[in-house]
């Protein structure tokens, strides 16, 4: 449609002007005008050439423009974005006649493009003609619901990524069922359209990037103030974000513990059922397929366990009931590359995608994810499926670390594996000859097994120390710090309004930045300064919301994307050099725990056979013991080697300047600059928290778990 508008302008304006000039020259010849006709009625060719010389460059330029529209893309043809960008570039050609011609064509092209965009911005409608060349595309999702997304290649250069995100948000909201019903129910919809038409009609051509962005932001904020904030109050947003923090980011540790225990019990029961099958039925059974019903039952038992542990506070009960209604545990597909939510676009640079390490495979023998049954309305105006996907990835990552930690610490609960249990008989039976023989037998047995398990306990202790410090860093510094910072932004406690240069506008800045700049000269107590900056809000669970602190849904969505982006980067989920050795470590820990439990069951069976005469005719316990012990030795080495590899990866990241720039968000700093430029809201800028140097400093206290000391200690432990 834009190309047709430009072609029509060329034909009706410029070519008709050229035809009129031809007729004027002919009229001069017929009138024998002395400017063209000389003595003896001789028409001077030089005069004719002079008449048409100003048109030569203009016609050649128009010919090039037409050829560009015809041959820009042999497959899809010339797009509106390509044509507008080329015409705007020609405004800087340096030739006045070309500039004037390009100016008229730019006005026609941008007018046609703005009409198409206005249908989407004002009514939420896609153009009926030329939809393939429009920057908004629609496709049906999983539930046959239309989902809208941006086609970045169809956007002209004067549309910034943030402005495009606002345009997508406005159209999506206008297509929302509840918003559409609200706007169509009364005069509010007509007032909205009339006001926004006036905003758009005030634009001048060629469109300026800043003025167009301000207009779109004004339309977005007007829609948000008049309609969206009534449908989506901030309290609902805080409620769903608290749900994500508690259950996806594992702020409620009892949920992770209950889910891990129920999943492990389900795995053990399924393998026991497989072992109880007849031999001919077990032939060829290499794994046990996980079914959706079993996974669902695990979550149901988890909720039952959580219900028995919940406190007497009403807010805890409401949060648990909301989680029970919305959360689902599903058997999914293997994880692919997950892009981070970067405003309106998603770059495929390695720093903008989450590592494809399959942490979701560790809870069961199949990929399993925690997700929502559906994003409830009207929260779907604020949450996108990409946000939910990021939450599931973070949950699988955190849950796999917590699960490995729980399974390792559970080994210490097996009393007979780590000390004399039951204790040798005491007097009077222990003083008899038979009793003394019994005591010697039990002590020799326990001593030999303690020597066998000594290096295994060393490896388990090293892994527990590493996992505990890693978890403490992630939960206490990264997750808790980011959540507190985001809560304070939601409650309006981190922003302050300062006078701007223009008298009619106000700018807002981050309070922590102002504090650092104004107090750096006269504030000497750095410990007091730190405690002041990180002081928690008066209500740590739910921020206080006042009417003046209401943010529009797009600002909330953009801030939430920034929050998720920062979480993934500080959790190192964008670094395959770290996540891959960590995943290998967790797999080795799983194998080590399974083999230690297997060795424990073998020793229990051997004790029953020796002490009580209970013989299993179908088991060769001595052979099983000889096979399991070397496997445990190999896994001990693998665990300690994997810990060393993870620490080496952390040290490499600490010295990597590219990773440091990524943590600062320099590659997408422009993505969220559009938030609140009209209504005075401030964009959410995550404060600097922690740093892997803090984690490495803690791990240095356990230096014996990594580096060259490990081998020497292992050898000493094995020799001992």
What is the model's pLDDT at position 268? 81
pLDDT digits (tens, 9 = 90+) for 263-287: 988 888 776 655 544 444 444 444 5
CA distance 720 to 716: 6
pLDDT digits (tens, 9 = 90+) for 420-441: 767 777 777 767 777 777 778 8
Comparing 48-57, 139-148, 323-332, 396-405, which segment has the lowest mean pLDDT? 139-148
Helices (H) and strands (E) in the chain, counts: 27, 8
What is the model's pLDDT at position 351? 54
Reply yes or no on whether the pLDDT at 606 is more than 90.
no
Reply yes or no on whether the pLDDT at 369 is more than 50.
yes
**In terms of Cα–Cα distance, which of 405, 410, 330, 400 is closest to 362?**
400
Question: 229 near 237, Cβ under 8 Å?
Answer: no
Cis peptide before 40 (omega within 30 of 0): no
**In terms of Cα–Cα distance, which of 359, 302, 367 is closest to 334?**
367
List the beta bridge partners of residue 150: 136
In eight-state DSSP terms, residue 203 is -
CA dihedral 406, 409, 412, 414 (to 10 degrees): 10
In eight-state DSSP terms, residue 206 is S
What is the model's pLDDT at position 262? 92
For residue 254, what are its two tokens? 């009892």
Percent of the chain at pLDDT above 70? 77
Comparing 19-33, 61-75, 170-184, 396-410, which segment has the lowest mean pLDDT? 170-184
Reply yes or no on whether the pLDDT at 649 is more than 90.
yes
Q: What is the mean pLDDT of residues 322-334?
A: 86
CA dihedral 326, 327, 332, 337 (to 10 degrees): 90
Pairing of strands 368-372, 327-331: antiparallel
Comparing 28-32, 142-146, 309-313, 658-662, which segment has the lowest mean pLDDT? 309-313
CA distance 438 to 458: 30
**In terms of Cα–Cα distance, which of 357, 362, 365, 368 is closest to 333?**
368
- What's the pLDDT band for 456 if we cut at 50, 70, 90? very high
Task: Give the chain's mean pLDDT.
Answer: 78
What is the model's pLDDT at position 355? 79
Reply yes or no on whether the pLDDT at 472 is more than 80.
yes
Return the sign of the alpha-carbon dihedral for residues 636, 638, 642, 644.
positive
CA distance 290 to 300: 16
CA distance 376 to 178: 12
What is the model's pLDDT at position 501? 33
Question: 393 near 338, Cβ under 8 Å?
Answer: yes
3-state secondary structure of 185: coil
What ranges do the domains of the chain cover?
A: 1-10+46-231, 232-343+352-384, 414-493+552-705
Comparing 318-327, 483-492, 540-549, which segment has the lowest mean pLDDT? 540-549
Q: What is the mean pLDDT of residues 216-223?
A: 85
Any idea which residue has 């300047």 for tokens? 657
For residue 71, what are its two tokens? 């041959």
Reply yes or no on whether the pLDDT at 174 is more than 90.
no
CA distance 56 to 439: 113
48: which residues sit within 8 A by CB, 6+ positions away?
A: 25, 36
Q: What share of the chain is helix, strand, coil (3-state, %, to 5)?
A: 65, 5, 30
Number of Cβ within 10 Å of residue 379's Cβ equals 18
For residue 708, what are its two tokens? 């060259």
């Amino acid at each position: 449609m834009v190309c047709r508008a430009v072609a029509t302008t060329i034909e009706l304006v410029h070519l008709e002007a050229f035809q009129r000039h031809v007729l004027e020259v002919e009229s001069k010849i017929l009138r024998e005008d002395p400017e063209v006709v000389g003595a003896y009625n001789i028409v001077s060719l030089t005069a004719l050439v002079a008449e048409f010389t100003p048109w030569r460059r203009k016609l050649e330029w128009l010919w090039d423009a037409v050829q560009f529209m015809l041959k820009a893309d042999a497959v899809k043809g010339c797009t509106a974005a390509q044509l507008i960008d080329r015409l705007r570039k020609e405004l800087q050609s340096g030739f006045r006649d070309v500039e004037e011609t390009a100016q008229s064509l730019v006005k026609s092209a941008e007018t046609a493009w703005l009409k198409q965009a206005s249908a989407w911005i004002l009514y939420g409608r896609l153009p009926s003609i030329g939809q393939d060349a429009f920057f908004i595309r629609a496709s049906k999702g999983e539930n046959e619901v239309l989902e809208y997304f941006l086609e970045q290649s169809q956007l002209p250069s004067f549309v910034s990524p943030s402005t495009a995100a606002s345009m997508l948000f406005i159209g999506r909201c206008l297509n929302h069922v509840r918003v559409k019903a609200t706007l169509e129910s009364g005069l509010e919809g007509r007032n909205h359209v009339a006001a926004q038409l006036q905003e758009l009609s005030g634009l001048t051509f060629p469109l300026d990037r800043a003025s167009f962005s301000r207009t779109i932001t004004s339309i977005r904020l007007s829609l948000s103030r008049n309609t969206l904030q009534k449908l989506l109050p901030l309290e609902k947003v805080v409620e769903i974000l608290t749900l994500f923090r508690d259950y996806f980011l594992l702020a409620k540790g009892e949920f992770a513990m209950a889910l891990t225990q129920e999943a492990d019990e389900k795995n053990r029961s399924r393998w026991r059922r497989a072992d109880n099958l007849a031999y001919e039925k077990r032939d060829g059974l290499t794994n046990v397929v996980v079914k959706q019903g079993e996974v669902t039952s695990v979550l149901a038992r988890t909720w039952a366990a959580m219900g028995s542990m919940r406190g007497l506070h009403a807010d805890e009960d409401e949060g648990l009931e909301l989680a029970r209604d919305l959360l689902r545990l599903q058997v999914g597909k293997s994880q692919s590359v997950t892009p981070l939510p970067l405003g309106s676009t998603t770059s495929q640079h390695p720093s903008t995608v989450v590592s494809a390490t399959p942490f979701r495979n560790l809870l069961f023998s199949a990929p399993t994810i925690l997700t929502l049954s559906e994003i409830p309305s009207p929260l779907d105006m604020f949450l996108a499926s990409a946000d939910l996907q990021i939450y599931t990835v973070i949950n699988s990552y955190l849950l796999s670390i917590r699960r490995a930690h729980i399974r390792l610490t559970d080994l210490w609960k097996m009393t007979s594996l780590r000390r004399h249990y039951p204790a040798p008989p005491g007097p009077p039976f222990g003083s008899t000859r038979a009793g003394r023989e019994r005591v010697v037998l039990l002590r020799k047995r326990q001593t030999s097994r303690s020597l066998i398990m000594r290096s295994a306990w060393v490896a388990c202790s090293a892994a527990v120390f590493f996992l505990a410090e890693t978890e403490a860093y992630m939960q206490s510094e990264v997750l808790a710090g980011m959540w507190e910072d985001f809560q304070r932004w939601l409650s309006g406690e981190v922003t302050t309004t300062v006078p701007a240069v223009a008298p009619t506008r106000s700018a807002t800045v981050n309070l922590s930045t102002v504090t650092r700049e104004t107090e750096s000269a006269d504030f000497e107590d750095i410990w007091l300064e730190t405690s002041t900056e990180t002081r928690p809000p008066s209500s740590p669970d739910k921020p206080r919301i006042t009417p003046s602190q209401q943010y529009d849904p797009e600002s909330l969505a953009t801030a939430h994307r920034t929050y998720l982006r920062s979480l993934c980067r500080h959790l190192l989920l964008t670094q395959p050099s770290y996540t891959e050795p960590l995943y290998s470590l967790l797999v080795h820990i799983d194998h080590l725990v399974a083999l230690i439990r297997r060795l424990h069951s073998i020793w229990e069976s051997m004790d029953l056979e020796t002490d009580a005469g209970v013989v299993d005719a179908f088991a060769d316990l001595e052979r099983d013991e000889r096979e399991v012990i070397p496997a445990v030795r190999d896994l001990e080495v693998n665990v300690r080697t994997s810990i060393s590899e993870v620490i080496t990866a952390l040290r490499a990241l600490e010295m990597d300047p590219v990773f440091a720039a990524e943590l600062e968000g320099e590659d997408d700093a422009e993505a969220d600059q559009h938030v609140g430029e009209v209504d005075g809201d401030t964009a959410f800028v995550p404060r600097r928290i922690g740093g892997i140097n803090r984690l490495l400093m803690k791990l240095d206290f356990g230096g014996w778990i990594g580096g060259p000391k490990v081998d020497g200690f292992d050898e000493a432990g094995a020799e001992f």
